[in-house]
Structure 1
């Protein structure tokens, strides 16, 4: 019996849904030494959205509403929904990718979400997220550049990619979005796709920051209290006057993206203050615009 259970556990840990075939024109992208998942994620990025992912978004998004009331404001014009998009969101907690996925689907978008390698490497949930178009980001490693290549392929094939410019859950003491890095800005300038700011607030109430049993406690509490999970989608960020490779333009793009997210966040925070401060959340970050005050003369 113990041998059977061990084989079952191994099967669960190693399970992967079947990826689509890798298109011939992407074979040249592969090189010796690439991680084993790279070809798989390239194939998924080039393929249409997975039917199972579409089914989950259409039929089971109510599961997210069990933990809070999702409220969506703003819109994405139909002409933009037909083409590739970069959706830049502030990162407030571990539950917010689910909230963003549901919110964007209600606005006619099928999101492919960039996620840390640790999540995508997790049994069952990780392979499902990857097959749904999730893009693995191995921050601070030599394979981090692979995420950029996968994202480029997804965008070239018309994908709607959700990225977090902050590069992590925001840790500014006042909770406003951090300045982030230039990676997303460089990607937007290089590929030339619209950048849509996505501001959100409330998902941090569902799962605490710390990885301990408190996560289950806050999840259970949300089932009872059902906090409001607000998402606002703003107009595209103006980047047409900027160019990749020109000195300072990546920083200007990064600043404009952070400003757009912060502006959209102001009314969301005014409408809903945190119910439960999170003592497990570090506060060693720095907000791009402390207090949510964005100067009118952003370069």
Structure 2
């Protein structure tokens, strides 16, 4: 590899200094990126990220019309937030970031390790506050620690309870895992449901040349990219560590996201077919029907 190519591959923006009070968290066997992400999580939002959100979010509207409903009261925006979103496709983190910024939120989005390790784009995302999640590995616990630090320092963290792009045949949110629920109960921050629909039409699921084809098609079709932000999920009666409460919190979060999704889907075209998308998942609430008596 040439020297120029190697410099591009290894380039990353300089992180902020790690605060002294976070030094005790580090261990000798931690990955090299852990201290860097802790420092970013504890720091105010990166000015470059703010400029991108303020000045260039219109670029997302080239691929679809972003429509945002719901609101976030100022008292919530001033403090830490855990924003729980359904995951419909690879383009939706961009849509969610733009939509939340229009409501006064500067999001820090949880992202897979594969994205964060990509040259140039990965380091930029990390410096902008994205939190690396290495699913299915021992390193996944580091994402929890980084998220906790971000929340303690007033951050607005976007997480996907499903842990992946949803694979329910009809596109309804899956039940997800209990990790986010346990985190919310442990840190005791408001959990805001974020429901979205339409971004799955911009980029297909499969990682092949079809992604470019669907991206180009969206420039012409310009699907409506709908995002709805609901009220906080009620979890004041639940406790971290009490038997069954993590599962109850998980189901309440899935129910809130599903309820917010129903009107978005009703106002949209039928589900756009994507033959590259597996249909092996199961919805938490099939057909979007959420019982009134969620425990």
TM-score calculated relative to the size of structure 1? 0.98
SS at match of 1:230: strand
1:92 aligns with 2:88: yes
Contact 1:205/1:274, CA 8 A, preserved across alignment: no
Contact 1:15/1:123, CA 8 A, preserved across alignment: yes
1:42 aligns with 2:35: no
Match among 101, 107, 128 for residue 103 of structure 2 = 107
Contact 2:108/2:128, CA 8 A, preserved across alignment: yes
Q: Deviations over 1:211-262 (max 9, x none)?
A: 0000000000011111000000000000000000000000000000000000
Unpaired segments of 5 or more residues in structure 1? none
Contact 1:202/1:274, CA 8 A, preserved across alignment: no
Q: Deviations over 1:169-226 (max 9, x none)?
A: 0001111000000000000000000000000000000000000000000000011111
Partner of 1:185: 181
Q: CA RMSD in A?
A: 0.8
Q: How many Å apart are 1:275 and its aligned residue?
A: 6.3
Contact 2:194/2:257, CA 8 A, preserved across alignment: yes
The separation in 2 between residues aligned to 1:18 and 1:273, in whole angstroms, is 44
Contact 2:41/2:129, CA 8 A, preserved across alignment: yes
1:74 aligns with 2:35: no
The separation in 1 between residues aligned to 2:110 and 2:271, in whole angstroms, is 28
Partner of 2:142: 146
Partner of 2:48: 52
Residue-pair matches, total: 295
Unpaired segments of 5 or more residues in structure 2? none
Partner of 1:64: 60
- Bigger drift between 6-15 and 179-188 goes to 6-15
Runs of at least 4 residues of structure 1 off by over 6 A? none
Partner of 1:215: 211
Match among 232, 255, 278 for residue 259 of structure 1 = 255
SS at match of 2:203: coil
Contact 2:170/2:271, CA 8 A, preserved across alignment: no
The separation in 2 between residues aligned to 1:276 and 1:215, in whole angstroms, is 14
TM-score calculated relative to the size of structure 2? 0.99
